A and B are shown apart, each in its own frame.
Chain A
Amino acid sequence: MKDLLDNLDKAFESRVRLGIMAILMVNEQVDFNQLKELLEVTDGNLASHLKQLETSSYIAVSKQFVGRKPNTTYAATEQGKIAFEQHLNAIEQLFNNKKTNI
């Protein structure tokens, strides 16, 4: 049991960070406002979670200008995608283990 829990990624412990990764798994690029609408969180909250994912190099950030407005888009890195999949597999295994124990 201990081993299985070790496979869960600390970076995905938060609901928001898990949500961000889920969205970036199926979309090439997503900007800040889209994430905010989909996850229904505040600017500050989202920004800090994004920062944490960026620090663990699970997401890549690119900044550009649309007209004169700055626009920041986010994409999942290869490393992030692998980590996310492993995390989901770990959750799935927890489930399966419970079932066989019963």
Chain B
Amino acid sequence: MDDREHLHTLTEIRSLMERSSRFISLSGLSGISAGVCACVGVGVLVVRWGIPLFSQSEVSFYELATVEFIKFLLIDVFCVLISALLLALYFTRRKAKIKGLPFWDKSASRLLVNLFIPLAAGGIFSLSMIYHHFAVFIPATTLVFYGLALLNASKYTLHDIRALGLAEMALGLCASFLLGYSLLFWLIGFGILHIIYGTIMYFKYEK
């Protein structure tokens, strides 16, 4: 065996270890599309209910927490979630195809299960807050739980997602103190951070 052969063996080993334990087909474009969906979702809320983004004004989640608003909010969040997921699925599938990797394998299901456990807990917790008329804490809670979910999922996919998780958590904690700016934190956390993260990932792994 000469040097080149050894080097080849080492690269092969590394790639096998990566591929078998982590889901690496996650596309940066899915991050960008999720961010855009979230921006649209927040935009709809701002336009429909006249919530100002940049000032801690009278009109906050707290004042608006009527049945009608909550209903609108739930539908809005649900639409954003579904469209973001579908787009993420589409772009990830495309990347897997380009790279010739399997789209659905054990690493993919492991990633999804570990992402959705904290996420489901957060979702149910948010519903309980609506039930108890604490809707004002929903943006902070969803951000913190989403951050935890990403942190948990980072063990099963690209490492970089860990940083995104930490950032979401930090934002959620800030939002929990600055309740008046909740919507702004939502926009930054789910919209802008996703777009930044997705763009970085796209240029790092797919260009």
Task: Give chain A's interface secondary structure class.
Answer: helix
The answer for the CA separation of A94 and B7 in the assembled complex, in Å, is 11
Contact of B17 among A26, A34, A37, A94 (CB under 8 A): A26
- Does A98 lie within 8 Å of B13, measured CB to CB? no
The answer for the CA separation of A25 and B106 in the assembled complex, in Å, is 16
A26: chain B residues within 8 A (beta carbon): 17, 20-21
A34: chain B residues within 8 A (beta carbon): 20, 105-106
**Interface range on chain B (Cβ under 8 Å from partner):** 10 to 19
The answer for the CA separation of A102 and B188 in the assembled complex, in Å, is 54
User: How many positions in chain A have a CB within 8 Å of any CB in the partner chain?
Assistant: 18
- Does A22 lie within 8 Å of B6, measured CB to CB? no
Q: Which residues A4-29 have CB closer than 8 A to chain B?
A: 15, 18-19, 22-23, 25-27
Cβ-based interface call for B206 (8 A): no
The answer to whether A15 and B12 touch (CB under 8 A), given A37-B105, A95-B3, A98-B3, is yes
Cβ-based interface call for A66 (8 A): no
A15: chain B residues within 8 A (beta carbon): 9, 12
Contact of B20 among A30, A91, A94, A98 (CB under 8 A): A30
Q: Which residues B1-28 have CB closer than 8 A to chain A?
A: 3, 6-7, 9-10, 12-13, 16-17, 19-21
**Binary interface encoding of chain B residues 95-112 relative to chain A, with 1 for a CB under 8 A from any of its CBs, else 0:** 000000010011000000
A91: chain B residues within 8 A (beta carbon): 6, 9-10
Cβ-based interface call for A38 (8 A): yes
| Min C-beta distance of A23 to chain B, whole Å | 4
A95: chain B residues within 8 A (beta carbon): 3, 6-7
A23: chain B residues within 8 A (beta carbon): 16-17, 20
- Which 5 interchain pairs have the tightest Cβ spacing? A26-B21, A22-B13, A23-B20, A22-B16, A26-B17
